[in-house]
A and B are shown apart, each in its own frame.
Chain A
Amino acid sequence: MLKRTIHWEEARAYNNNYYVPVTLTLDEGIDGLFNGKTKVYPYQVLLMISEKEYSREYTMLTFLNADRDQPKYSGKILFEDYFIGNTKLSNYENNIPVKYHGIEKSNIKMAEAVVNYDDCEWIVVGTVCVGDVNNGNAPDICKNLWELICPDIGPIIPENPYFPPIDPNEGGPGSPGPPSSSQNDGCEGITKATHVTSLSNVASTISNIVSSPIEIGHHLYATNPTTLNPIHVGPARPGTVNSWPPFYTWNQHNGYAIGSIHNHPNNSAPSPSDAMAGIYISQMRADNHPSAEVDFVTKHNTTIVVTSSYIYTITIKDAALFEAFQASHKTDEITPIDVYLEYVAEFLLNFPNNLDATKPAEYALLMMYGDAINLTRQDINSTPNPTLLQVDNQGEVTYTGC
């Protein structure tokens, strides 16, 4: 197995996290060398320690790109919960995540969920056990350790550890800085859904489009870049039977688009595109919009999808994750709808007796973006009383109030 050596003396603080270099080496008792040369694992590894309200999170980052000459990182990063072992793999372009493949349970081969990764392979490198559980009265807890070995990427011994770049010019007002970390819990999602769908101009727009045989969309506009009320509903933008042409703007001339409403003529639940709809947050940063405006968008962006049965409302739960997903959605080579349909199939297979026709698609959306969005649903014919949609530990979709 790989021995982990944590270089505490080289720890650095950045963006409310600590980063500590880690060296992984093959145990002396194990024959074999990486690439026939070294017992040191050939990729840069950092332990990231994040301060949470009541705890700390320990995440091990493995930078799978050998080219570390650039000031900003481009390539794959493997994130692993240091103690639990859950992993996710993301692609980065100049420090911005562009691809997200979801969290895999430990001991599950990534290849089972993510195909076409011909260049990488999961290999069991050992087993870690925690002993003396319950003062020795319980059996040891053991789990296999998996490492992603990517033979196409050349060997680099981490002589010069890569750290997330610390640029004193970044992060100030009006400049592209690190992703926002603002969070809105499920109750805020319900409150927003109730508020917005109760507005008379929004309610009348919903009534006007619900029976349309084609998709019709309207943008919702804020009064100015930092004032929400009153929300203005823009003109109709008719589309086709399965799409409408959104045109999000963020300027005084064309309006500050803080969301949208559109219908699904054949009653499907919101799609992955709907979940990620809105002004591109990364683009706002790139265009040097003040951080107050970016925060305003992440707090209030609202997407409403209307079917003949339900009104769905999507708001942002985790701003940083939403931004990462948005960027990934724009560039992902495995299209989100492919992933979405596979989750739908998964639900159909796991719950053959499910009697709610919309649940499989709701499940799929939550599995993909549930950490980033609040998704609510309310009956179209009743007083606004939205419920929050979540996936429970059994993989079932639940509908709860606040």
Chain B
Amino acid sequence: MKNNLFITIICCCLSIYAYGQRSIQDITITNPLLEEANVEELRDFANYQRMYFKNPKMKFSALIINEKNAKYYKLKGTRDIVYVIARLDSISTDNWSASVKTWIEMSTYPGHTPYVEELGLGRGGGVISFTKGYIGRNTHYMFYQNPSERVTLMFFYISNASDEEKIENMRNILTNMTIK
């Protein structure tokens, strides 16, 4: 009996640990700069970009629509797209800073130096990362973690704006975000 109780307690602890982080469906993101995107409009994303992204320098990104596992937003006043996923693996959640470095290492284009900006966001942290001046795909990355909110998020920002404009936009998105 005692053994069963012990095992139950251990299982409960493991469950709390494993499911302690909140999934994308468990949270509400509010941000005055973002509005929910109409995903139907994004299904043919190549066409969307052809219609609205006029900067010819950058190549277009692909976009997977998975409303169960991601949230899709439009940056207000623009056609830029932001989608967000939650990270649940233990390296991303328990060793967030290292996992961001792993992503930066992985996503840095050979021969380029990544632009990385760390933002102090109250009890949380944010990082912006992309390759300045790169004319490949137009996806840029933002990372956010707030242990007290039990969230670790990754943002994909798709835009053909200038580098400085993108940095400003990403900075504003992270600093104006509220998670509930």
A355 to B46, CA, bound (A): 31
Residues 18-47 of B, flagged 1 when their CB comes within 8 A of A and 0 if not, give 100001100000000000000000001111
Contacts of B137 in A (CB 8 A): 334, 338, 341-342
A266-B101, A345-B156, A349-B66 known; A338-B106 Cβ under 8 A: no
Contact of A266 with B102 in the complex, beta carbons under 8 Å:
yes
A241 touches B105 (CB 8 A): yes
User: What's the Cα separation between A350 and B64 when bound, in Å?
Assistant: 9
In the bound assembly, the distance between CA atoms of A373 and B156 in angstroms comes to 30
A344 adjacent to B106 (CB under 8 Å): yes
CB <8 Å contact, A350 and B59: no
The distance from the CB of B69 to the nearest CB of chain A, in whole angstroms, is 4
A338 to B61, CA, bound (A): 8
Min CB gap A214→B, angstroms: 11
A144 interfacial contact with B, CB 8 Å: no
Instruction: Determine if B85 and A341 form an interchain contact, defined as CB atoms under 8 angstroms apart.
Output: no
Selecting from A110-118, A169-177, A199-207, A384-392, the interface stretch reads A110-118
Asked if A335 and B136 make an inter-chain contact with CB atoms under 8 angstroms apart, the answer reads: yes
Residues in chain A near residue B108, CB distance under 8 A: 242
A residues less than 8 Å from B120 (CB atoms): none
The answer to whether B59 and A338 have CB atoms under 8 Å apart is yes
Residues on the B chain within 8 Å of A266, using CB: 98, 101-102, 104-105
Residues of A within 8 Å of B156, CB to CB, are: 345
B65 to chain A, nearest CB (A): 9
Complex CA gap A112/B65 in Å reads 11
Binds B, one of A38-46, A92-100, A267-275: A267-275
Q: Is the interface of A mostly helix, strand, loop or mixed?
A: loop
Question: Is A349's CB under 8 angstroms from B105's CB?
Answer: no
Give the residues from 120 to 162 in chain B that come closer than 8 angstroms, CB to CB, to chain A.
136-137, 139, 154, 156
Is B88 a contact of A354 with CB atoms below 8 Å?
yes
| Given A266-B104, A337-B110, A338-B59: A352 in contact with B98 (beta carbons within 8 A) | no
* Chain A hits for B107, CB < 8 A: 337, 341
Q: Is B101 a contact partner of A115 (Cβ separation < 8 A)?
A: no
**Chain B residues within 8 Å of chain A by Cβ, number:** 44
Is B7 part of the contact surface with A, judged by Cβ < 8 Å?
no
Task: Name the A residues within 8 Å of B101 (CB-CB).
Answer: 266
- A334 and B62 CA atoms in complex are apart in Å by 12
Question: 1/0 contact trace for A345-368 toward B, CB 8 Å?
Answer: 110111011111100010000000
Q: Are A342's CB and B61's CB within 8 A? A: yes
Tell whether, in the assembled complex, residue B59 and residue A115 are in contact, meaning their CB atoms are under 8 Å apart.
yes
CB distance from A269 to the nearest CB of B (A): 7
Which residues in A have their C-beta under 8 angstroms from that of B105? Answer: 241-242, 264-268
Chain A residue, CB-CB nearest to B92? A357
Residue B14 lies at the interface, judged by CB distance under 8 Å to chain A: no
Q: Give the residues in chain A near B47, CB-CB below 8 Å.
A: 111
Q: Give the nearest-CB partner of A335 in chain B.
A: B136
B12 to chain A, nearest CB (A): 18
A355 engages B102 (CB within 8 Å):
no
Q: Does B177 contact A (CB under 8 A)?
A: no
Q: Does A243 contact B (CB under 8 A)?
A: yes
B106 near A334: Cβ-Cβ < 8 Å: no
Q: Is A116's CB under 8 angstroms from B46's CB?
A: yes
Given A355-B89, A357-B99, residue A350 in contact with residue B66 (CB < 8 A): yes
The answer, yes or no, to whether B60 is at the interface (CB within 8 Å) is: yes
Complex partner residue of B88 from A271, A273, A345, A352, CB under 8 angstroms: A352
Pair A337/B102 contact, Cβ less than 8 Å: no
Which A residues are in CB contact (< 8 Å) with B61?
A: 115, 342
Q: In the complex, which residue of chain B has the Cβ closest to the Cβ of A267?
A: B102
Q: How far is the CA of A271 from the CA of B92 in the complex (A)?
A: 19
Chain A's nearest CB lies how many Å from the CB of B95?
Answer: 9
Cβ–Cβ contact B85 & A352, under 8 A: yes
Give Cα A355–Cα B85 distance, bound, in whole angstroms: 14
Q: Which of A322-344 contact B (CB under 8 A)?
A: 334-335, 337-338, 341-342, 344
Residues of A near B69 (CB, < 8 A) are: 349-350, 352
Measured CA separation A350–B86 after assembly (Å): 12
Bound state CA distance, A383 and B87, in angstroms? 31
Tell me, yes or no, whether B70 is within 8 Å of chain A by CB.
Answer: yes
Q: How far is the CB of B109 from chain A (nearest CB, A)?
A: 6
**With the chains together, A338 CA to B108 CA distance in Å?**
10
Q: Which residues of A contact B50 (CB under 8 A)?
A: 118
Which of A267, A350, A356, A361 meets B89, CB within 8 Å? A356
Judge whether A349 and B90 touch: CB under 8 Å: no
Q: What are 21 A-B pairs at a CB distance below 8 A?
A: A111-B46, A112-B44, A115-B60, A116-B59, A118-B50, A242-B105, A243-B110, A268-B102, A271-B106, A334-B59, A338-B59, A342-B61, A342-B137, A342-B139, A344-B106, A348-B87, A349-B66, A349-B70, A357-B91, A357-B92, A361-B106
